[in-house]
């Protein structure tokens, strides 16, 4: 299998194929899951044909869409080991050394954040890390209340976050049983960073309306624009009003290792909880993320005990006490392998490389006569539109989805789209340290040429009756 995968990885000439979804659907539908087993050898062939041949390749330099990264090879080796052993890091008796290794990696991460007494746990992703942070924040806000008083207080809880924060904050509010209007959206400045004055205003408004602010959720690296909220200002406000400060650094956490940009995260050490996704800027295979807490006692706000598993009197280090999951992957081994085998300095340089590259691409877009840069980025996204002089906003809007779809269907270039200030935009997310400026500039030319063709096609005047008669002759 390793040989086949290596062959496919090396041979990938595009980030995806052009096989249409109907054909893919048919191939999957045609498989009879109850048929006679193929045996080990033939199933590998089937996986090769069915999956690898049609995979989306994040390591390909023309994959420029979402927050997916090429992976560190040492982590891939570790992935094989942890899957084969099938360790579950829930209780100590099931994992032993694995629990201690996970704790070591958590300590390493809290050390980088600046939580000297901190603790944490690996999770399945930023979505779960955010959810757990907000769960603990809810429990902190409801601590000491029970029964009807607890329900009444819960109905008044609010989370303050910027309009550019990740949708998992909204989703968490729903799952946590908060009121429909529990997420208070705070205005961002024009660049896309939460505005501290607006935060304080919203906070006062919520308090005056009888709400109980349970958390301020800041974003260190927004998913669309890669902007880092002003963490020290937010920390100051959270401290003054004594509100749980969560920092969602799912994307920006990678700067913890940057040799030149670590200062962009200053203030993160004043958060009470932090989300870091290792499967973004730490080049780890999916999944690998963590929730880190400044004060380890905060985990007790959400611990359950089961007699068969982790009874209250257990003196063993049971990671399940800190997790929303029970059976849980030993993802920490992958980060261990990367840090020991490749090293934190190399990761930090790779992160800097993609951020530098994004800034260079911003310049290319700004100089291009037909492209417009919509936003800068503290990290590695490029948000732009095709809109030459004289093309209206509405016409340019209408092209965003078709441009993306055109390349998506060909499989030749994968870009994303999003909406900034109510206008659709194209988005590149650069997380491949092997990507090169010249190649990206060429892809931008292709995008511009395709857009121009599409625009010409859609705005060509409709032929007169006589002209159309002539055409059909």
Ligand X SMILES: *Cc1c(COP(=O)(O)O)cnc(C)c1O
Residues near ligand X (CB under 6 A) are 67, 125-127, 130, 166, 168, 219, 221, 223, 248, 250-251, 277, 289
CA separation for the pair 249, 222 (Å, rounded): 8
> Minimum distance from CB of 169 to ligand X (Å)?
8
Short-list 233, 245, 254, CA closest to 295? 245
Short-list 366, 384, 348, CA closest to 224? 384
Nearer to ligand X, 272 or 280 (CB): 280
Nearer to ligand X, 245 or 251 (CB): 251
CA separation for the pair 6, 9 (Å, rounded): 5
Structure tokens at 285: 């295979």
CA separation for the pair 469, 473 (Å, rounded): 6
CA separation for the pair 3, 138 (Å, rounded): 49
> Minimum distance from CB of 202 to ligand X (Å)?
20
> Minimum distance from CB of 223 to ligand X (Å)?
4
> Minimum distance from CB of 107 to ligand X (Å)?
22
> Minimum distance from CB of 105 to ligand X (Å)?
17
> Which residue, chain included where needed, has tokens 């016409």?
395
Nearer to ligand X, 95 or 168 (CB): 168
Nearer to ligand X, 168 or 318 (CB): 168
Nearer to ligand X, 161 or 450 (CB): 161
**CA-to-CA separations, 199 to 164, 215, 265, 438, in angstroms, rounded:** 13, 12, 19, 41
> Minimum distance from CB of 70 to ligand X (Å)?
16
> Minimum distance from CB of 167 to ligand X (Å)?
8
Nearer to ligand X, 347 or 448 (CB): 347
> Minimum distance from CB of 426 to ligand X (Å)?
18
> Minimum distance from CB of 288 to ligand X (Å)?
9
Nearer to ligand X, 67 or 337 (CB): 67
Q: Which residues contact 207 (CB under 8 A, 6 or more apart)?
A: 213
Q: Which residues contact 440 (CB under 8 A, 6 or more apart)?
A: 61, 64, 357, 361, 364, 428, 430
Nearer to ligand X, 67 or 206 (CB): 67
> Minimum distance from CB of 381 to ligand X (Å)?
10
Nearer to ligand X, 115 or 251 (CB): 251
Nearer to ligand X, 94 or 185 (CB): 185
Residues present in the chain in total: 473
Nearer to ligand X, 379 or 403 (CB): 379
Short-list 330, 278, 281, 324, CA closest to 301? 324
Bridge partner residues of 293 (DSSP): 119, 273
- Cβ atoms of 200 and 179 within 8 Å: the answer is no
Q: Using CB atoms, what's the residue nearest to ligand X? A: 126
- Cβ atoms of 380 and 355 within 8 Å: the answer is yes
> Minimum distance from CB of 158 to ligand X (Å)?
19
């Amino acid at each position: 299998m390793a040989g086949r995968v290596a062959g496919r990885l090396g041979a990938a000439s595009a980030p995806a194929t052009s096989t249409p979804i109907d054909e893919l659907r048919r191939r999957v539908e045609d498989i009879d899951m109850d048929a006679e087993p193929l045996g080990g050898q033939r199933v590998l062939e089937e996986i090769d044909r069915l999956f690898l041949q049609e995979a989306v390749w994040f390591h390909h330099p023309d994959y420029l869409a979402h927050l997916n990264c090429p992976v560190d090879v040492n982590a891939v080796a570790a992935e094989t080991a942890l899957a084969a052993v099938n360790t579950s890091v829930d209780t100590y008796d099931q994992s032993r050394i694995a629990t201690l290794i996970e704790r070591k990696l958590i300590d390493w991460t809290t050390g980088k954040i600046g939580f000297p007494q901190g603790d944490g746990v690996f999770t399945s992703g930023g979505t779960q890390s955010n959810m757990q942070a907000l769960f603990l924040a809810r429990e902190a806000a409801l601590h000491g209340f029970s029964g009807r008083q607890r329900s009444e207080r819960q109905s008044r809880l609010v989370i303050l976050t910027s309009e550019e924060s990740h949708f998992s904050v909204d989703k968490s509010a729903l799952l946590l049983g908060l009121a429909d209007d529990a997420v208070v959206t705070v205005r961002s400045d024009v660049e896309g960073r939460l505005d501290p004055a607006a935060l304080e205003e919203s906070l006062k408004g919520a308090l005056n309306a009888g709400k109980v602010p349970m958390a301020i959720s800041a974003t260190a690296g927004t998913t669309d624009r890669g902007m880092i909220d002003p963490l020290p200002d937010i920390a100051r406000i959270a401290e003054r009003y004594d509100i749980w400060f969560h920092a969602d650094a799912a994307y920006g956490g990678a700067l913890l290792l940057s040799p030149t940009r670590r200062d962009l995260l200053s203030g993160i050490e004043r958060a009470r909880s932090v989300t870091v996704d290792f499967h973004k800027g730490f080049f780890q295979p999916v999944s690998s993320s963590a929730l880190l807490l400044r004060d380890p006692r905060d985990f007790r706000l959400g611990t359950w005990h089961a007699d068969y598993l982790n009874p209250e009197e257990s003196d063993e280090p049971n990671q399940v006490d800190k997790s929303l999951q029970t059976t849980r992957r030993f993802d920490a081994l992958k980060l261990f392998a990367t840090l020991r085998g490749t090293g934190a300095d190399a990761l930090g340089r790779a992160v800097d490389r993609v951020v530098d590259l994004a800034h260079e691409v911003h310049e290319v877009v700004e100089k291009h006569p037909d492209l417009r840069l919509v936003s800068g980025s503290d990290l590695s996204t490029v948000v732009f539109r095709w809109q030459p002089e004289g093309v209206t906003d509405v016409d340019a809007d209408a092209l965003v989805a078709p441009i993306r779809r055109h390349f998506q269907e060909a499989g030749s270039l994968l870009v994303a789209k999003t909406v900034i200030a109510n206008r659709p935009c194209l988005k590149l997310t650069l997380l491949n340290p092997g990507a090169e400026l010249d190649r990206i500039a060429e892809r931008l030319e292709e995008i511009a040429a395709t857009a121009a063709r599409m625009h010409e096609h859609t705005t060509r005047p409709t032929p007169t009756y006589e002209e159309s008669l002539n055409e059909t002759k």
